[in-house]
Amino acid sequence: MLKSVGLVGWRGMVGSVLIQRMKEENDFLNFHPYFFSTSQFGSNGPLINNILYKNLKNAYDIDFLKEMDIILTCQGGNYTKDVYFKLRSIGWNGYWIDAASTLRIHNDAIIILDPVNNEFIINSINNGIKTFVGGNCTVSLMLMSLAGLFQNELIEWISVSTYQSASGAGAQYIKELLKQMGKLYNVVSDSLYNDSFSILDILNQVTNSIHSKNFPIDYFSVPLASSLIPWIDSKMEHGQTREEWKGEFETNKILQSRNPILIDSLCVRISSLRCHSQAFTIKLKKNLSIQNIEEIIKNHNIWVNVIPNTKQDTLLKLTPSAVTNTLNIPIGRIKKLSIGNKYISAFTVGDQLLWGAAEPLRRMLNLLINL
Ligand code: HSE
């Protein structure tokens, strides 16, 4: 019998990417989907394989939810807080797959990234674990690129500088970034094509615009277009942001490290739309040749691609514009650092909405469907 899968938050940004990927892979043929809504129950759901899913269910209807074998939610942390514990407290024993971070710190929740921790996921299922949570996007994208080095226990520590897209903050932030970009273009559109304006005139017009009262900053609080924001999420201890803290905590939880690997970051929002990039400084435990390092990285999974450290390859293959809307995980700029032969740099790019969010959830659902 086909399993019943409740889908919540499928209309949001991550949810829409998830549904699109599930359609592409024909996942819907393998289970019985029920579409839930927190606000529009009763109305029509999506059209999939020519079937219109009518009569959206109420996402707070515990009696209906408890009939599901699996619930997959991209609705966000508040929904998880509201509904997950209620369902568990009445004895619901189904599988819960979640995009939100709320449950990641719980001991009985597994952070999922199956190309990296498939064995741990399977063991957990066999041990009766029922709660599976997608990882932080930056962490998942780092692990997809560096998993070969992690799994061969070659990493002593990593220092990461991130370049994170607006999508990581949410759909409204993408729109605001685009409004900011449009505003800047509009303010100089005539001057750009008129040689009587000097470049300083043009820069001054931009500066005046980003400092003007009507520059759109409702979401970011400050301009991001033509700027960057070196702070993501809330403040933690020791000067870290929560985004930076997650790097070490989640990586070690995903890898089930016996001796936690030291990872710290400086996380920065930039004006990319949906790709996170990361620059790594890595201290290896051994002095390995670059060729050896590249082999280890590229042999780990089919999505990671080692990009030769040339200008042409880097420009063509190692940028957000090259990677956006693909499952490709390029990693390049791999070189030894002058500080010592165990120190290397590397740079990776990944789509924040695919491997950073939707893809691990989709794959987890398939894993459970095929049990
Ligand atoms: N917290 C991440 C960001 C996205 O703000 O870019 C989700 O993991």
DSSP three-state, residue 279: strand
Q: What is the pLDDT of residue 143?
A: 98
Measure the CA–CA gap between 110 and 256, rounded to whole angstroms. 10
Across the strands, what pairs with 304? 329
Instruction: Tell me how far CA of residue 7 lies from CA of 56, 111, 201, 316, in angstroms.
Output: 10, 19, 53, 38
**CB-based contact 141:350 (threshold 8 Å):** yes
Q: For ligand 1, which residues put their CB under 6 angstroms from it?
A: 136-137, 164, 168-169, 232, 243
- 32: annotated active-site residue: no
pLDDT in tens, the chain (371 residues): 899 999 999 999 999 999 999 999 999 999 999 999 999 999 999 999 899 999 999 999 999 999 999 999 999 999 999 999 999 999 999 999 999 999 999 999 999 999 999 999 999 999 999 999 999 999 999 999 999 999 999 999 999 999 999 999 999 999 999 999 999 999 999 999 999 999 999 999 999 999 999 999 999 999 999 999 999 999 999 999 999 999 999 999 999 999 999 999 999 999 999 999 999 999 999 999 999 999 999 999 999 999 999 999 999 999 999 999 999 999 999 999 999 999 999 999 999 999 999 999 999 999 999 99
Record the tokens describing residue 237, joined without a space.
């201890």
Q: What is the pLDDT of residue 315?
A: 98
Nearest Cα residue to atom 5 of ligand 1: 168
Instruction: Classify each residue of 75-97 as buried b or exposed e, where b means 16 or more C-beta atoms within 10 Å of its C-beta.
Output: bbeebbeebbeebeeeebebbbb
- 267: annotated active-site residue: no
Report the atom number in ligand 1 closest to the C-alpha of 243: 1
Q: What is the pLDDT of residue 163?
A: 98
In a mutational test of the pocket of ligand 1, which residue from 104, 113, 140, 243 has the highest number of ligand atoms less than 8 Å from its CB?
A: 243
Measure the CA–CA gap between 189 and 191, rounded to whole angstroms. 6
Please state the three-class secondary structure of 88-130 as a single string: HHCCCCCEEEECCCCCCCCCCEEEECHHHHHHHHHHHHHCCCC
DSSP three-state, residue 318: coil
List the one residue out of 162, 168, 274 whose CA is nearest residue 220.
168
In a mutational test of the pocket of ligand 1, which residue from 17, 104, 113, 138 has the highest number of ligand atoms less than 8 Å from its CB?
A: 138
Nearest Cα residue to atom 3 of ligand 1: 168
Q: What is the pLDDT of residue 64?
A: 97
Tell me 269's DSSP state: B
List the one residue out of 231, 227, 230, 265 whose CA is nearest residue 246.
265
CA of 135 to the centre of ligand 1 (A): 10
Instruction: Tell me how far CA of residue 255 lies from CA of 151, 162, 251, 298, 344, in angstroms.
Output: 8, 21, 6, 18, 21
Return the percent helix, strand and coil in the chain, to nearest 5: 40, 25, 35
CA of 199 to the centre of ligand 1 (A): 36
